[in-house]
Structure 1
Amino acid sequence: MALILLLFIFLLVFGTPIVFSLGVAASFTLVAYDVPLALVAQKIYGGLDKFTIMAIPFFILTGIIMEKGGIAKRIIDFATALVGWITGSLYLVAVVAGTGLAAISGSGSADTAAMSSIMLPQMKKRNYNIDFSAAIMACSGSLGTIIPPSIMMVVLATISNQSVGALFLAGIIPGLICALFLLISGYLRAKTNVSESKDYHKFSTIYLLKTFFSAIPALTLPVIIVGGIVGGIFTPTEAASVAVITGLFISLFIYKEIKFKDLPQIILRAATIASTVMLIIATANIFSWFIASQQIPQKISEFMLGFSDSKLWFLMNVNILLILIGMFMESISAILILVPVLMPVAIAFGVDPLHFGLIIILNLSIGMVTPPYGITLFVASSIAERSIVDVSKKLLIPLTLMFIVLFLATYFPQISLYLPSTILGYK
Structure 2
Amino acid sequence: MIVILVCFLLFLALGVPLVFVLGASALLTLVITTDVPVTLVSQRVFAGLNSFTLMAIPFFIFAGVVMDAGGISRRIVAFSSALIGWVTGSLLHVACVTSAGLAAISGSGSADVAAVSSIMQPQLKSRGYNVDFSAAIIACAGSMAQIIPPSLTMVVIAIIGNMSIGALFLSGVVPGLLCIGLLIGVSYVYARKGGPQYRESKPFSLRELARSTYVALPAFGMPVVIVGGIIGGIFTPTEAAAVAGFYGVLISMFIYRELRLADLPQIVLRSASLSAAVMLIIGTATVFSWLVANANVPDMLAAWLRSVSSSPLVFLLFVNGLFLLIGMFMETIAAILIVAPVLLPIAASFGIDPIHFALVVVFNCAIGTVTPPYGICLLVAANVAERPPVRVWRKAGWPIAVMAVVLALITFLPEMSLWLPRAAGLIR
| Separation (CA, whole Å) in 1 of partners of 2:85 and 2:158 | 37
| Separation (CA, whole Å) in 2 of partners of 1:71 and 1:322 | 33
1:164-199 per-position Cα deviation (integer Å, ceiling 9, x unaligned): 111101111111111111110111111111234312
| Separation (CA, whole Å) in 1 of partners of 2:298 and 2:202 | 56
Match of 1:106 in 2: 107
1:319: how far off? Answer: 0.6
**What secondary structure, in the 3-state scheme, does the structure 2 residue paired with 1:350 have?**
coil
CA contact (8 A) 1:78 1:211 kept: yes
**Equivalent residue pairs, number:** 427
| Separation (CA, whole Å) in 1 of partners of 2:125 and 2:42 | 51
CA contact (8 A) 2:139 2:378 kept: yes
1:209: how far off? Answer: 1.1
Q: Give the stretch that moved more between structures: 36-45 or 76-85.
A: 36-45
| Separation (CA, whole Å) in 2 of partners of 1:151 and 1:243 | 14
| Separation (CA, whole Å) in 1 of partners of 2:100 and 2:407 | 17
Q: Is it true that 1:145 corresponds to 2:146 in the alignment? A: yes
CA contact (8 A) 2:363 2:407 kept: yes
The alignment's TM-score, normalised by the length of structure 1, stands at 0.98
Match of 1:330 in 2: 331
Q: Is it true that 1:82 corresponds to 2:75 in the alignment? A: no
| Separation (CA, whole Å) in 1 of partners of 2:295 and 2:210 | 60
Match of 1:7 in 2: 7
| Separation (CA, whole Å) in 2 of partners of 1:97 and 1:209 | 17
1:202: how far off? Answer: 2.1
Kindly provide the amino acid, as one letter, of the partner of residue 384 in structure 2: I
Residue correspondence of structure 1 range 339-350 to structure 2 within 5 A: 339-350=340-351
1:4-57 per-position Cα deviation (integer Å, ceiling 9, x unaligned): 111011111111100000001011112222222232122111111011100001
CA contact (8 A) 2:70 2:253 kept: yes
| Separation (CA, whole Å) in 1 of partners of 2:158 and 2:18 | 22
| Separation (CA, whole Å) in 2 of partners of 1:99 and 1:207 | 20
Kindly provide the amino acid, as one letter, of the partner of residue 311 in structure 1: P
Residue correspondence of structure 1 range 281-296 to structure 2 within 5 A: 281-296=282-297
1:253: how far off? Answer: 1.3
Match of 2:300 in 1: 299
| Separation (CA, whole Å) in 1 of partners of 2:203 and 2:111 | 30
| Separation (CA, whole Å) in 1 of partners of 2:10 and 2:388 | 28
1:313-361 per-position Cα deviation (integer Å, ceiling 9, x unaligned): 2111211110010011000000000111111111222221110000000
Structure 1 residues not aligned, in runs of 5+? none
Which consecutive segments of 4 or more residues in structure 1 shift more than 3 A?
A: none
1:232: how far off? Answer: 0.9
Kindly provide the amino acid, as one letter, of the partner of residue 7 in structure 2: L
CA contact (8 A) 2:104 2:150 kept: yes
CA contact (8 A) 2:166 2:426 kept: no
| Separation (CA, whole Å) in 1 of partners of 2:89 and 2:388 | 23
CA contact (8 A) 1:134 1:384 kept: yes
The alignment's TM-score, normalised by the length of structure 2, stands at 0.98
Residue correspondence of structure 1 range 51-70 to structure 2 within 5 A: 51-70=52-71
Match of 1:158 in 2: 159
CA contact (8 A) 1:90 1:200 kept: no
1:89-144 per-position Cα deviation (integer Å, ceiling 9, x unaligned): 11111111111111000100111111000001000011000001100110111010
| Separation (CA, whole Å) in 2 of partners of 1:343 and 1:408 | 21
Q: Is it true that 1:376 corresponds to 2:382 in the alignment? A: no
| Separation (CA, whole Å) in 2 of partners of 1:93 and 1:155 | 30
Q: Is it true that 1:16 corresponds to 2:16 in the alignment? A: yes
Residue correspondence of structure 1 range 125-136 to structure 2 within 5 A: 125-136=126-137
Structure 2 residues not aligned, in runs of 5+? none
Match of 1:406 in 2: 407
**What secondary structure, in the 3-state scheme, does the structure 2 residue paired with 1:328 have?**
coil
1:43-97 per-position Cα deviation (integer Å, ceiling 9, x unaligned): 1111110111000011111111111110011011000000000111111111111
Match of 1:391 in 2: 392
Identity of aligned residues (%): 52
Match of 1:45 in 2: 46
Q: 1:9 to 1:196 in 2, by over 3 A?
A: farther
Give the alignment's Cα RMSD to 1 decimal: 1.0
| Separation (CA, whole Å) in 2 of partners of 1:287 and 1:408 | 33
1:242: how far off? Answer: 0.3
Q: Is it true that 1:202 corresponds to 2:203 in the alignment? A: yes
Q: 1:128 to 1:161 in 2, by over 3 A?
A: same
**What secondary structure, in the 3-state scheme, does the structure 1 residue paired with 2:19 have?**
helix
Kindly provide the amino acid, as one letter, of the partner of residue 211 in structure 1: S
| Separation (CA, whole Å) in 1 of partners of 2:146 and 2:383 | 20
**What secondary structure, in the 3-state scheme, does the structure 2 residue paired with 1:289 have?**
helix
| Separation (CA, whole Å) in 1 of partners of 2:202 and 2:388 | 30
Q: 1:196 to 1:167 in 2, by over 3 A?
A: farther
CA contact (8 A) 2:167 2:426 kept: no
Kindly provide the amino acid, as one letter, of the partner of residue 285 in structure 1: T
| Separation (CA, whole Å) in 2 of partners of 1:148 and 1:373 | 24
1:159: how far off? Answer: 0.9
Kindly provide the amino acid, as one letter, of the partner of residue 93 in structure 1: V
